[in-house]
């Protein structure tokens, strides 16, 4: 996490004040690409700043900084399985993460680069976000998704 997101997580502030959709099992690359398409089409506001960082929350809790990312660069990072693999950190349980300037959402993904044994994702949605997670759930096999409280999820997942 970033220093600001860590404070928000611990306080239960957005984006951790709402729900999180997570992959229930090791998802296929096809499912991950569907999630990313929904995310770009229905969630990302091109007028808002987007930030990118490597999220070590599950790995060891290391705090890192983010950098501004343009919408076009984000699209290029998630528009194909090859691009998603290239955008992944590669270390165990280290996720690639993007979030909005408004903190209305946080999207994270992780792909096992050695043998594609797993792909997983988490889509954290603030109560104040203008998106409907049920729309995403209808486009993907429900057995592949979990839906739970975001702060509770991050509390349980912390590796530090």
> Strands, DSSP E only, in the chain?
19-23, 50-55, 67-69, 95-100, 105-111, 119-125, 145-149
Per-residue pLDDT tens digits for 16-29: 999 998 887 777 78
The share of the chain scoring above pLDDT 90, in percent, equals: 44
- Specify whether the CB–CB gap between 59 and 53 falls below 8 A: no
Per-residue pLDDT tens digits for 43-95: 888 999 999 999 999 889 899 999 999 999 999 988 888 888 888 887 888 89
Please check the confidence at residue 135 and state whether its pLDDT lies above 70. Answer: no
By residue range, what is the domain housing residue 113? 3-157
**Under 8 Å CB-to-CB from 152, ≥6 apart: which residues?**
none
| Whole-number pLDDT of residue 34 | 82
| Whole-number pLDDT of residue 112 | 78
Question: How many distinct structural domains can be found in the chain?
Answer: 1
Please check the confidence at residue 114 and state whether its pLDDT lies above 70. Answer: yes
24 or 121, higher pLDDT: 121
Is the backbone of residue 93 left (phi > 0), alpha (psi -120 to 50) or beta?
left
The share of the chain scoring above pLDDT 70, in percent, equals: 89
DSSP character for 39? I
């Amino acid at each position: 996490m970033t220093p600001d997101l860590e404070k928000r997580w611990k306080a239960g502030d957005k984006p951790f004040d709402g729900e999180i959709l997570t992959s229930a099992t090791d998802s296929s690359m096809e499912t991950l690409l569907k999630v990313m398409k929904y995310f770009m089409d229905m969630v990302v506001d091109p007028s808002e700043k987007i930030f990118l960082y490597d999220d070590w929350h599950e790995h060891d809790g290391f705090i890192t900084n983010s950098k501004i990312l343009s919408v076009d660069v984000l699209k290029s990072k998630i528009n194909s399985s090859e691009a998603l693999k290239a955008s992944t950190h590669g270390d165990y349980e280290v996720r690639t993460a993007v979030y909005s300037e408004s903190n209305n959402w946080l999207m994270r993904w992780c792909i096992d680069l050695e043998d594609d044994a797993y792909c997983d994702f988490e889509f954290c949605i603030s109560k104040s976000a203008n998106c409907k997670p049920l729309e995403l759930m209808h486009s993907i096999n429900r057995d592949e998704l979990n839906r739970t409280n975001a702060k509770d999820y991050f509390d349980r997942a912390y590796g530090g």
